[in-house]
Amino acid sequence: MSPRPYRMGKRAESVARTRAAIREAARDEYAETGIDGASMQSIARRAGVAPGTVLYQYPDPDELAREVIQESTRVMKVPTAADVDADASLASRVRWLAHELFRVYAGTEREYQAWSRSRTHPVIAESDAWYARTYQEVLGAVLGPEHADPRAFQVASAVIDPGFRANLVARGMSDDEAADTAADLVIGWVELAS
Amino acid sequence: MSPRPYRMGKRAESVARTRAAIREAARDEYAETGIDGASMQSIARRAGVAPGTVLYQYPDPDELAREVIQESTRVMKVPTAADVDADASLASRVRWLAHELFRVYAGTEREYQAWSRSRTHPVIAESDAWYARTYQEVLGAVLGPEHADPRAFQVASAVIDPGFRANLVARGMSDDEAADTAADLVIGWVELAS
């Protein structure tokens, strides 16, 4: 029934490209200024579009922030409790989690910057709540009932953490070395504690 | 020979008090803005003195920054290699170091903020170089020749670290619990590695 399916497809494609460019520009902007400090003008400049285009595509700045944050969470495939191999040893479950999460952290450095600058922003708070629940569940499944005491949660979550990963990488470790080191720290601590 | 020793004493005392108030105000300012971003006007306002008083007492802003940083280092009594008890076990040397340094970190949270905002400032770079050397020496003495491989240095210095301490405290640990946890992590890691 559409008289110009080809041209409509082209337009939809071009809109999708523009929206993706705006989201990518917003990621850079948030990393530098936080979500609160982000300016539509500056996002438009980074995306190479007119400020009016940003406002037309994303009239609500929180909606833009929400799409950006949700997209990166989806793309990064955060590991969940369902992914944990219950038959593996505690040590290999911990090692698996450290590698999975350090991969996520390496791919979300801009989001981590945005997070540390805008912890109280509602969109960050939403995503934080989701992440905290997911992390809690996957870590619970990794540690298993016999190691799931509150102190083990505190220790493992402080070590398998984006800031701690950045700290190891700044000291010259590769991502894999950093993940292995974090796993060794948690495993060594659990063995010492039990 | 001085005709008014009493009043001169009073004046010297008052100058010392003013200079101390300026340094204390500068610590707050640096923590919020970094050293590069610090404003003399704002330091004067925080100290409750005229901007001209700050400029008269500290004509060189780097000299003010240097005095502030050196003073906090001196006051905090950073542990050195000479303080290490060579007869103690590896575990108790590590525990001692974690407690000593976490005490220093707890007392220098403003300096840590300033440091993370102004890593490239010459005064911070100077103090960094001194701190890195002191840390390297004390950690070498703590680990002893048999554990002093580069990986042990990387791991111990990432765990016995102001950012990692802040991370544990943010998860609800007291300063002593955080220091014990950091020590357990390093000890567990060394045992696992050897």
Same domain? For A93 and A38 the reply is: no
Please judge whether A168 and B154 are an interchain contact, meaning their C-beta atoms are less than 8 angstroms apart.
Answer: yes
CA-closest candidate to residue A163, choices B177, B163, B169: B163
Compute the mean pLDDT over every residue in chain A, rounded to the nearest whole number: 90
Same domain? For A89 and A137 the reply is: yes
Please judge whether A167 and B172 are an interchain contact, meaning their C-beta atoms are less than 8 angstroms apart.
Answer: no
Q: Confidence band (pLDDT; 50, 70, 90) for B13?
A: confident
Q: Confidence band (pLDDT; 50, 70, 90) for A75?
A: confident
pLDDT in tens, B26-38: 999 998 988 988 9
Whether A68 maps to a domain, the answer reads no
Check residue A2 and report its DSSP letter.
Answer: -
Please tell me the distance from the alpha carbon of residue B54 to that of residue B50, in angstroms, as a whole number.
Answer: 7
| pLDDT for A14 beyond 80 | yes
Same domain? For B27 and B85 the reply is: no
pLDDT in tens, B143-185: 998 887 889 999 999 999 999 999 999 999 999 999 999 999 9
Whether A26 maps to a domain, the answer reads yes
Average pLDDT over residues A111-117: 82
Please judge whether B158 and A172 are an interchain contact, meaning their C-beta atoms are less than 8 angstroms apart.
Answer: no
Residues of chain B found within 8 Å of residue A187, distances taken between Cβ atoms: 188, 192
Same domain? For A137 and A82 the reply is: yes
**Six-digit token string for B100:** 């000593």
- DSSP assignments along chain B, one per residue: --S-HHHHHHHHHHHHHHHHHHHHHHHHHHHHHTTTT--HHHHHHHHTS-HHHHHHH-SSHHHHHHHHHHHHHHHHT---GGG--TTS-HHHHHHHHHHHHHHHHHHTHHHHHHHHH-TTSHHHHHHHHHHHHHHHHHHHHHH-GGG--HHHHHHHHHHSSHHHHHHHHHTT--HHHHHHHHHHHHHHHHHHH-
Please judge whether B158 and A167 are an interchain contact, meaning their C-beta atoms are less than 8 angstroms apart.
Answer: yes
Q: Which of A158, A171, A188 is facing B168, going by the closest CB pair?
A: A158
Same domain? For A118 and A54 the reply is: no
B contact test, residue of A149, A168, A189 with most B CBs within 10 A: A189
Whether B126 maps to a domain, the answer reads yes
Please judge whether B185 and A161 are an interchain contact, meaning their C-beta atoms are less than 8 angstroms apart.
Answer: no
Smallest CA–CA separation between B83 and chain A, in Å? 26
Q: CATH number of the domain that A17 lies in? A: 1.10.10.60
Whether B35 maps to a domain, the answer reads yes
Average pLDDT over residues A89-106: 95
User: What pLDDT does A156 receive?
Assistant: 95
Same domain? For A189 and A133 the reply is: yes
Whether B66 maps to a domain, the answer reads no
Same domain? For B128 and B158 the reply is: yes
- DSSP assignments along A50-114, one per residue: -HHHHHHH-SSHHHHHHHHHHHHHHHHT---GGG--TTS-HHHHHHHHHHHHHHHHHHTHHHHHH
B contact test, residue of A94, A165, A184 with most B CBs within 10 A: A184
A contact test, residue of B181, B186, B187 with most A CBs within 10 A: B181
Of residues A186 and A124, more confidence is placed in A186
Number of domains in chain B: 2
Residues of chain B found within 8 Å of residue A163, distances taken between Cβ atoms: 163-164, 167
Please judge whether B184 and A189 are an interchain contact, meaning their C-beta atoms are less than 8 angstroms apart.
Answer: yes
B contact test, residue of A94, A167, A176, A187 with most B CBs within 10 A: A167
- Please report, for residues B49, B82, B87, B172, the alpha-carbon distance to residue B96 in angstroms, rounded to integers and kept in the order given: 42, 13, 13, 22
Same domain? For A131 and A48 the reply is: no
φ and ψ at residue A147, rounded to 5 degrees: -115, 5
Same domain? For A166 and A83 the reply is: yes
Whether B72 maps to a domain, the answer reads no
pLDDT in tens, B97-149: 999 999 999 988 888 888 888 878 888 888 888 888 999 999 999 999 888 78
User: What pLDDT does A6 receive?
Assistant: 56
**Six-digit token string for A95:** 């090692």
Q: Confidence band (pLDDT; 50, 70, 90) for A146?
A: confident
Whether B128 maps to a domain, the answer reads yes
Q: Which of A171, A187, A192 is facing B187, going by the closest CB pair?
A: A192
Average pLDDT over residues A116-139: 87
Please judge whether B163 and A159 are an interchain contact, meaning their C-beta atoms are less than 8 angstroms apart.
Answer: no
* Burial class (CB within 10 angstroms; exposed 0-12, middle 13-18, buried 19+) of B14: exposed
Please tell me the distance from the alpha carbon of residue B23 to that of residue B50, in angstroms, as a whole number.
Answer: 14
Same domain? For B130 and B178 the reply is: yes
Please judge whether A154 and B173 are an interchain contact, meaning their C-beta atoms are less than 8 angstroms apart.
Answer: yes
Q: Which residue range forms the structural domain that includes residue B112?
A: 77-193
Q: Confidence band (pLDDT; 50, 70, 90) for B93?
A: very high
Report ipTM for this prediction.
Answer: 0.76
Please judge whether A158 and B171 are an interchain contact, meaning their C-beta atoms are less than 8 angstroms apart.
Answer: yes
Q: Confidence band (pLDDT; 50, 70, 90) for A5?
A: low
Percent share of chain B, pLDDT over 70: 96
Residues of chain A found within 8 Å of residue B119, distances taken between Cβ atoms: none
User: What pLDDT does B71 receive?
Assistant: 85
User: What pLDDT does A12 receive?
Assistant: 85
Please judge whether A191 and B192 are an interchain contact, meaning their C-beta atoms are less than 8 angstroms apart.
Answer: yes
Whether A71 maps to a domain, the answer reads no
Same domain? For B123 and B179 the reply is: yes
What is the radius of gyration, based on Cα positions, of chain B? 20
Q: Which of A171, A184, A187 is facing B158, going by the closest CB pair?
A: A171
Please judge whether B167 and A164 are an interchain contact, meaning their C-beta atoms are less than 8 angstroms apart.
Answer: yes
Same domain? For A189 and A96 the reply is: yes
Percent share of chain B, pLDDT over 90: 65
